Chain A
Amino acid sequence: MHLHRQPPGTPGYDLHVQVIPVLSLSGLVLYALAEAYAVAALRTNRPKFDRAAAWCLGAGLIVHFAALEVRGRILHSVPYRDLPDSMSLFAWMLAASYAFLLLRHRESSTGAFLLPVVILFDAVALATRDRQGPPTPELRGSLFALHVTMAILGYAALTLAFVLAVLYLVQMRQLRLHRMGVLFARLPALDVLDRLQRTSITAGVCALAVSATIGLVRARIYWGTIWDAKVLATFVTILIYLGALASTRLGWKGRRSALLSIVGFAVLLFSYTVVNLFFTQEHVFR
């Protein structure tokens, strides 16, 4: 689809720029409401709170998507120009992956722990966003869009895996110490958490691998070199997670698998923040 270019200063551009904060803020409020209901559901075990949380999450996803869509129209690309943009897209994908868990596995207790991450990233994105014009040619095109989308999808899936791994350790601790509180009753069984976590890792690693492959091809074309701190960090991340998956097959299930997933996430976080901000030469958000 060809989008009409709306340069800064034209009425269409200004309208878009004005509507984004409204949509983003509404999305954030809806996520916060969903979190409030999810916590209430966790504490009281009332189905009506679960339903309310699901509806707020759905509405938040739609409004947030509309904000991303408008931003994409201004940029003529996937909205991934700078760190705030990528954080906002990441928050959306994380919320969407939780919605998937909810629809596919009827697993609602994760929400109260996952949504704070969504809210944090969305809020930081909203607070630090600035208005910017259309991107340079190398940051356009469908291949670039796929590269970005896959990378952020990978991050979202691996964040989900991280939350599930932490919940696994929490649930395991409760079982060992016989602390059978409300949280114990509401969290899923260990084998379910383990399975969901492994599925998330598989999805995340696949998405990252696709993204990295496209990234390498594009790096050859635009930069002339493929060596960059970001590339290195991404490969380390992929390797750790592949190791986690392989070790599961070799018998590192349960606690160790959860710990590996948490280590992998720490590296991912490092790659996403510190490497992005300070180390990478080429892979910066201009």
Chain B
Amino acid sequence: MSAVPQAELLLVGWDFRTAPLDLRERLAFTPDAIRAALGNLREEGLLAEGVIVSTCNRSEIYGVSSSEDGDGSRLSEFVARFHGLPEPELRRTSFRHSGAAATRHLFRVAAGLESLALGEDQVLHQVREAFQVAAGAGAARSVLHRMFQKAFAVGKRVRTETALSSRPTSIPGVALELAQKVYEDLASRRFLILGAGETASIFYDLILSRGARRIEVANRTLERAQALAARGGTARRLDEVPGLLAQSDIVVCATGSPQPILKAENVARALDARRGEPMLILDLGVPRNAEAGIAKLENAFLSAVDDLEQIAARNRNEREADIPRAEAIIEEELTEFAAWFGALAVVPTLTELRRRFDAVREEAFDRAIAEMKDITPAQRERLQRVARSLVNSLLHDPTEALKSEPDPLLRVLRAEAVRQIFRLDDERGG
């Protein structure tokens, strides 16, 4: 008789802490690869359910195992085969969790606690997409569905109830937050970007993504400004800047000029023309591109790289201080999920218990029949019925006790007790 498999949560993963970048690149799954891998995993009987989370920082396989792969080594063998990578290296660089530890890891990922940039938002989105791909392929059903829904809830709660994701920790992020505290709607504002180098380019893409449409780029060499402006904006020469200032709500300085190129007198004149409309100047240049005197002008708000870096550092500290609160939320949701998952164990336990009793009954019945040589078919039938009813009566109370316990945790404890008393786990693999 085969043992009823005990569903177990499994996780095998590689992230930036355990695996180098080049290996992570080779381990990455495209959505199509995810669908193919999930199909193979289920066909091979390695997993009953599965979700693959693959980002530039991590590749993780979450699964409900229907076989005995306690340490997930068969999963890592599978990945080695799937990607054509050396198995020992994968084994060495992976981390493997099962049960509550696997769930806790997923919740920590969703909360942004496992991210390179603590509390980042992107990862929750990526986890959601990974789940949708798996759900679309029919690989994420009851258990993983529940587990990932909980993970989304954790991600949302951590982001609203703690400071883990509330404040930006990168310089462009801080700069954008500042801009949005002067002008709420950035899309309708006019930007002037001085410089066309890498910093300018990063900021350009950032404000484009916030819907900004009126962007002017001024640079010493016009060609480079034109290259940047091709993304959606107007290229200007540096000597046009004084004339452009009056109409610019947000000025971003990112040139490599050794001298300040944004003069206080020009800004003062522009502010007069702007009639009290504030102007935000973000000086990302090193050395400074904007004269320090600008900070004293009424309705001018000047922030240099140092200021932004200080704010970013303060925000990082704030985030770190809130890690315990995020972890408390995770444990809270984990307890709830574990209780639900544990309750699933009741039904298989009851099935196994009945099988065990039926086996004993059949054995005893066969032995008894063998001893009784002159038994009529009617008597034999009657004996069979008595034996069955005996088993049913004996099973009635334990079944009720397991099923009717309203507290999921107690239900799990009782199921566990039944498994031990009747040695249900001894049969496994036998």
Answer yes or no: A286 CB below 8 A from chain B CBs: no
Answer yes or no: A4 CB below 8 A from chain B CBs: no
Q: Which A residues touch B310, using CB under 8 A? A: 178
Answer yes or no: B295 CB below 8 A from chain A CBs: yes
Answer yes or no: B239 CB below 8 A from chain A CBs: no
Answer yes or no: B69 CB below 8 A from chain A CBs: no
Bound form: Cα–Cα A249–B237 in Å = 33
CB distance from A141 to the nearest CB of B (A): 45
- Are B298 and A255 in contact, CB atoms less than 8 angstroms apart? yes
Nearest A residue to B183, CB-CB: A191
Q: Which B residues touch A255, using CB under 8 A? A: 276, 298-299
CB distance from A250 to the nearest CB of B (A): 7
- Are B276 and A251 in contact, CB atoms less than 8 angstroms apart? yes
CB distance from A100 to the nearest CB of B (A): 19
Answer yes or no: A283 CB below 8 A from chain B CBs: no
Q: Which A residues touch B295, using CB under 8 A? A: 176
Tell me which of B140-148, B160-168, B388-396 binds A: B160-168
Contact of A175 with B181 at beta-carbon distance under 8 Å, contacts A45-B166, A185-B167 already known: yes
B179-199 residues at the A interface, CB under 8 angstroms: 180-184
B147-178 residues at the A interface, CB under 8 angstroms: 160-161, 163, 166-167, 174, 177-178
CB distance from A197 to the nearest CB of B (A): 13
- Are A257 and B167 in contact, CB atoms less than 8 angstroms apart? no
CB distance from A207 to the nearest CB of B (A): 26
SS of A interface (majority): helix
Answer yes or no: B57 CB below 8 A from chain A CBs: no
- Are A189 and B180 in contact, CB atoms less than 8 angstroms apart? yes
B277's partner among A47, A184, A253, A256 (CB-CB below 8 A) is A253
- Are A254 and B278 in contact, CB atoms less than 8 angstroms apart? yes
Contact of A189 with B184 at beta-carbon distance under 8 Å, contacts A180-B314, A254-B299, A255-B298 already known: yes
Q: Which A residues touch B78, using CB under 8 A? A: none
List the 8 closest A-B pairs by CB distance, nearest first: A251-B275, A253-B276, A189-B184, A254-B276, A178-B307, A192-B184, A180-B311, A190-B182
Q: A180-B311, A180-B314, A248-B276 are in contact. List 13 more A-B contacts (CB 8 A).
A: A45-B160, A46-B160, A46-B161, A175-B181, A178-B307, A189-B182, A189-B184, A191-B183, A253-B276, A253-B277, A253-B299, A254-B299, A255-B298
| 24 residue pairs A–B, Cβ–Cβ below 8 Å | A44-B161, A45-B166, A47-B160, A175-B181, A176-B295, A176-B301, A178-B303, A178-B307, A180-B311, A180-B314, A180-B315, A185-B166, A189-B181, A189-B182, A189-B183, A191-B182, A250-B275, A251-B275, A251-B276, A252-B276, A253-B278, A254-B299, A255-B276, A255-B298
